[in-house]
Amino acid sequence: MRGSSLVALLAGSLIFGCGETHVELLAPIVSSAGAGADAAAGANAAAGANAAAGSGADVDGGAAGDFGGPPPLTVPHLIHRYSFDGEGTRVLDSIGEAHGRLESGAVLDGAGHATLDGVDDYVNLPNGLLSGLTNATLIAWVVWNGGPCWQRVFDFGSTDAGEDQVGNATSSLFATPKRCPGTGPAVSFTASNDEFGSVDSDEPFPVLQVSAIAVVIDAAKAELRLYAAGKSLGTGNAPSLARLSDQNDWLGRSQWVQDIYLRGTYDEFRIYDAALSDADLSALESAGPDALAP
């Protein structure tokens, strides 16, 4: 149960009871062995993903062009990148100037990781990273330690308690590795005008291994898409990002007071200002974290 308050119960019922898009697991987007190697090589080349444009595989291992979209997008669409390099609490944005910080005692390990204890640690990023965008893709590589539901990989939004405070979410775009009820990941987007969209899955998110989770907001299609561990988990309705009041841009912490903090380790987190395609995300999955040089 998400919480004991009536407001939280009603909100939880709305999020995963009404207007919800619940889809069966779609085919994997992981490239075939040959295509995966090509995509990784292209991602590490100076030309970025352009070198891999001809090798991104579709769900059946075919060419990227089978999706009917553009070839994999390149570094210019990458606007914020957090690789968790260095030591201390400063979380460097190696693409832009939106530097963040670790809170509540968590520190970088000096080897490109930020580990959160599941008690009170989280990453605090600057406000307004998403609300000024039209399209967006958020992707995180994490090692999740497992545990209770509703932990947040990320949660960008606002609460009725004000900035930097948890409470009842008034606006939120979040991804969780495990929803309730259920056994798999979910994404939920509640806009400040009560527009809503979600995608959920019962495919368990991997525990104790580096895995990617990605969310795409495609304004042209008004579509919300969820991917996890190399698989497309489905689509839902996407409100406009302009309706997201992202006063609190957090990794590992929920806008809702009753939800626990994430237990796990971040390897990398990125924000793109484009709705990446299946082929784009397949190339990123094949390349892995830290592969694309700015």
Angstrom distance (rounded) from CA 215 to CA 251? 14
Whether 226 maps to a domain, the answer reads yes
Angstrom distance (rounded) from CA 73 to CA 89? 31
The reported pLDDT for the residue numbered 218 is 98
Whether 64 maps to a domain, the answer reads no
Angstrom distance (rounded) from CA 281 to CA 137? 10
136-170 pLDDT per residue, tens: 999 999 999 999 999 999 999 999 999 999 999 99
Whether 88 maps to a domain, the answer reads yes
83-102 pLDDT per residue, tens: 999 999 999 999 999 999 99
Its pTM surpasses 0.85: no
**Total number of domains in the chain:** 1
Average pLDDT value over all residues in the chain: 81
170-193 pLDDT per residue, tens: 999 999 999 999 999 999 999 999
Beta strands 223-228 and 210-218: pairing type? antiparallel
Q: Residue 102 sits in a domain of what CATH number?
A: 2.60.120.200
Can you tell me the mean pLDDT for 5-9? 35
Q: Which amino acid is at 88?
A: G
Size of the chain in residues: 294
Angstrom distance (rounded) from CA 26 to CA 11? 28
The reported pLDDT for the residue numbered 291 is 87
14-35 pLDDT per residue, tens: 333 333 333 332 334 433 233 3
Angstrom distance (rounded) from CA 13 to CA 10? 5
DSSP bridge pairs for 61: none
Whether 222 maps to a domain, the answer reads yes
214-245 pLDDT per residue, tens: 999 999 999 999 999 999 999 999 999 999 99
The reported pLDDT for the residue numbered 268 is 98
99-130 pLDDT per residue, tens: 999 999 999 999 999 999 999 999 999 999 99
Percent of the chain scored above 70 by pLDDT? 73
Domain that holds residue 266: 6-30+74-276
Whether 289 maps to a domain, the answer reads no
Helix axes 33-44, 278-287, angle to 10 degrees: 80
Cα dihedral 120/126/131/133 (nearest 10): -120
225-247: b (≥16 Cβ within 10 Å) or e = bbbbbbbbbbbbbbbbbeebbbb
Whether 54 maps to a domain, the answer reads no
The residues near 62 (Cβ < 8 Å, ≥ 6 apart) are none
Whether 284 maps to a domain, the answer reads no
Is residue 76 very low, low, confident or very high in pLDDT (cuts 50, 70, 90)? confident
Can you tell me the mean pLDDT for 46-66? 32
Paired tokens of 50: 């352009």
Whether 53 maps to a domain, the answer reads no
Angstrom distance (rounded) from CA 66 to CA 282? 13
190-207 pLDDT per residue, tens: 999 999 999 999 999 999
Can you tell me the mean pLDDT for 246-267? 98
Angstrom distance (rounded) from CA 130 to CA 68? 27
